Structure 1
Amino acid sequence: MLHLRSTVLLAILPIQASADVQSVLRPHGEDASRIAEISWVMFIGAGVIFLLVMILLAVALYGKPQARTLLGRRSLIVAGGLAFPIAVLSALLAYNLKAASSSAMADTAPAVRIEVVGEMWWWRVRYLAANGQPLFETANDIRIPYGQPVEFVLKSDNVIHSFWVPELAGKLDMVPGHVNRLRVQAKNAGVFRGQCAEYCGAQHAKMMFDVQALDPGDFQQWVAAQREPARKPADDTLRAGQRHFLQACAQCHAIRGTAAAGTLGPDLTHIGSRRSLAAGVLPNNVGTLAGWIAGGQHIKPDNAMPSFNRLSSQDLRAVAQYLESLE
C-alpha cells in the first residue's frame, strides 16, 4: 500500500508542478478570464447532464417497474432525447459565442505593440514604435505593462507555430506568409509562462518564453534601458570575453554598440537581464551560459547553434562572464 501511495504521488507531482507554471484555470488577463469562465460553464453544464443521464440509467436498470415503464414512454424519449439536447446545446452555443466575442479591448488603441516571430526553436521579439518601426529586439523575454492593452503582431517565416500564454489569453497560430494579431491585457503584475502550442519540429517542447507584466512606470524604465547599447567591458576578463565573442559569435548574433551585427540568432544586447536561456530551457547565469555555449547541441539537439566545445575553460568562462554583464 505504501508503494502504491508513493507511485501515485510521483505521478501527481509533475502534473501539479506544471499547473503551477501555467494554467488556463488561473487567469490573470481579460481574455484568459473569459476563457476560464466559458470552461467552467461548459464543465459544470456537462457534469450536470452526465449526472442526470446516470440517474436515468440507474432507474432504467434498477428502478421499480412503474418507473421503468415511464422511461419508455414516447413523449419522454422525444423530450429527453431530442428537445432537451437541442435546447441545452443551443443555449450553451449562444452563451459561448457571446462570451467569446465580448472584448473591452476591441475598440481601444494598444498601449504597446510587439512583433513576435516564431523561429526554430525560439521567439524573436521586436518592440514597435507608433509608426511600426522596431525600437529594439530581444528574444524569449517579453515584458508588458499591466492594466493596459497590448497588441502582439504574430509572424513566422518557417513553419506554423502557435503563440500561447494560458494565464493571459487564448492561443493564436503564427502562419508563414500571414500576420495574426492578438490583444492581451494583464490584470496585475506577475511572470507568466508562454509555450508554442503547435508541433513545429524536434524541439517544439523546448520552445517557451516568459511574459512579465510590470507596473507601467517600471515598464517604461525597462524600455528605455533596452534601447541603450550594450555596456562596455569594465575589466580585462570581460574585454577578453568580448573579443572571443566577436571572433566566434558575431556572424549570427547582434550586440548593439559593438561590431556584432548578425541576424540569424537572437539579439544578445541585454542578455544578462533575461530570466532564461535557450527559449526557457535553462535559468540564466554564468554556469548555464557556459554550458549552453559549449554544449548547446546536447542540451537542445538540432538547434541552429553549434556547440563551441573547443574553447578553453578560461576563454569559455570569459565569454560567459561578458554575456552575463550585458544587463
Structure 2
Amino acid sequence: MNCARRLSLQLGRAALTSALAPCARYAWADAVAANAAGATADDTPPLAYFLRGVGPAAKPVLHLGWALTAICCFVCIVIAVMLGIALFRRRQRQDPRALTAGGGMRFVYVGGTISTVALLGIAVYMLIVLAQVADPPREPALTVTVTAYDWWWKVDYGDGDQHFTTANEMHIPTGVPVLVMLKSADVIHAFWVPQLSGKTQTIPGVVNRQWIQADKPGIYRGQCTQYCGVQHAHMAFEVYAQPQAEYERWCAAQQRSAPAPTAAQAARGSKLFEERCAGCHAVRGSKAAGVQAPDLTHVMSRRLLAAGTLVNTPENLMNWIEHVQQIKPGTLMPDMKLSSAEARDLSAYLATLR
C-alpha cells in the first residue's frame, strides 16, 4: 500500500508539472522576446502561435489545435483517474468475474465506443478545417514564389522589369490574401509561418501552393519544419506585414539597382566582391550575377542575416563572411580569407547596398 501511495504521489507531481510546463514555457518565451531586439509582432515570441492567430488562414488551425489539446488533456486526466482507482481498489485475486462480460470487460466496451466516436469526430473536424484553409476567400492580391535551399529562402516578386529577389524575408500588404508558390532547389523542406498559416512542404520538382493573410501589421517569424540537414534549425525567415502604401514604397525601393560606389574604398570593395563573390551572389547594377546564393542588392536593408541566425549589423556581416563555417557549419559558403585592408574595403562596399 505504501508503494501504491508513493506511485500515486509521483504521478500527481508529474501531471502538475505537465500542466504548468506550457505556462512556464510561454512566460519564459515572452521574457526572452521582450528583451530581444526586434521582437515579432506585438512583442510576442514565435511559439505563441498556440495562443494567437493573425489571419483567416491561421485561425481555423488555431481553434483545431485548442480542441485537440483539450481532448488530449481530458484523456490524460481520465487515464490518471482510472490508474488511481486501479491502485487503491484492486480486484480480489479470487474474483471469478475478472475480465468477463459481467466484470472488467464493461470498461473495454465503453472505452472502445467512446474512443471510436471521438476519433471519428476529430477526423471530421480536421477535414472541415482543411477545407476552410485550402483556398483563399477571394482572389489573391499578390503572388510570391519562395524557393527553399540548404539552408535559406529565396523570395521572388513580380515579372519582367518588375521582378526582384530578396532572401529570408517576405513583405506582404495587410488585409489581403497572398498566394505563395513553393519550390525546393535541393531536398524536402517545409514552409511554416505559425501565426499566419499551417505547414506546407517544398518538394524538388513539385510546385506547391499556400496562401497567407495578415490582418494587422507586424513581423511574423517563419521556420522550416521538415528536417533537411545539419543546419535545419537555422533556416528561419520573417514575414513583414505592412499597410499597402508602405508595402508599395518597399517594392519600389527593392526594384532599384544598386548604385555604383563613388568612394575609393567602396569601389575597391566592389571590385573585390566581383572577383571573390560574384560566382554565387548577385547585385543588380553590377557584374555580379550569381544565382546559387542570396541576392545582395539591398542586403543592408534586411533585419537579419543567414536565415535568421544573426542580427544584420556591419560587424556581424563581416564576421559571417570571414567565419561562416564557425557560425553555421555545413553551409555551402566557405570562409573568406581577407586581409584587414580587404575586409575594410568589402565592408565599405556592402554598406552601400541598402
Distance 1:201 1:59, change over 3 A: closer
Distance 1:82 1:144, change over 3 A: same
Partners of 1:242 and 1:322 within 8 A in 2: yes
Letter in 2 for 1:36: L
> What is the DSSP-based 3-state SS (H/G/I as helix, E as strand, rest coil) of the residue aligned with 1:24?
helix
> What is the DSSP-based 3-state SS (H/G/I as helix, E as strand, rest coil) of the residue aligned with 2:163?
strand
Partners of 1:29 and 1:187 within 8 A in 2: yes
> What is the DSSP-based 3-state SS (H/G/I as helix, E as strand, rest coil) of the residue aligned with 1:103?
helix
Equivalent position of 1:3 in the other structure: none
> C-alpha separation between the residues in 1 aligned to 2:124 and 2:279?
55
Partners of 2:188 and 2:203 within 8 A in 1: yes
Distance 1:304 1:61, change over 3 A: closer
| RMSD of aligned residue pairs (Cα, Å) | 2.9
Equivalent position of 2:158 in the other structure: 128
Letter in 2 for 1:288: N
Please give the TM-score of this superposition, normalised by the length of structure 2.
0.79
Post-superposition shift, 1:202? Answer: 1.9
Letter in 2 for 1:284: N
> C-alpha separation between the residues in 2 aligned to 1:99 and 1:55?
32
Q: Does 1:40 align with 2:66?
A: yes
Structure 2 residue corresponding to 1:219, chosen from 218, 230, 247: 247
Partners of 1:191 and 1:212 within 8 A in 2: yes
Equivalent position of 2:148 in the other structure: 118
Structure 1 residue corresponding to 2:327, chosen from 288, 293, 299: 299
Equivalent position of 2:349 in the other structure: 322
Unaligned 5+ segments in structure 2 are 1-20, 34-43
Post-superposition shift, 1:234? Answer: 4.1
Alignment of 1:1-327 (within 5 A): 16=29, 17=32, 20-25=45-50, 26-62=52-88, 73=103, 76-77=106-107, 80-103=110-133, 105-129=135-159, 135-309=163-337, 311-327=338-354
Q: Report how many aligned residue pairs link the two structures.
A: 312
> What is the DSSP-based 3-state SS (H/G/I as helix, E as strand, rest coil) of the residue aligned with 2:57?
helix
> What is the DSSP-based 3-state SS (H/G/I as helix, E as strand, rest coil) of the residue aligned with 1:115?
strand
> C-alpha separation between the residues in 2 aligned to 1:64 and 1:160?
52
Letter in 1 for 2:138: T
> What is the DSSP-based 3-state SS (H/G/I as helix, E as strand, rest coil) of the residue aligned with 1:245?
helix
Identity of aligned residues (%): 37
> What is the DSSP-based 3-state SS (H/G/I as helix, E as strand, rest coil) of the residue aligned with 1:194?
strand
> C-alpha separation between the residues in 1 aligned to 2:235 and 2:184?
14
Post-superposition shift, 1:32? Answer: 2.1
Post-superposition shift, 1:232? Answer: 2.8
Unaligned 5+ segments in structure 1 are 1-7
> C-alpha separation between the residues in 2 aligned to 1:60 and 1:120?
52
> What is the DSSP-based 3-state SS (H/G/I as helix, E as strand, rest coil) of the residue aligned with 1:269?
coil
Please give the TM-score of this superposition, normalised by the length of structure 1.
0.85
Distance 1:308 1:50, change over 3 A: closer
Distance 1:99 1:318, change over 3 A: same
Post-superposition shift, 1:117? Answer: 0.9
Equivalent position of 1:5 in the other structure: none
> C-alpha separation between the residues in 1 aligned to 2:265 and 2:313?
17
Distance 1:256 1:100, change over 3 A: same
Post-superposition shift, 1:127? Answer: 0.9
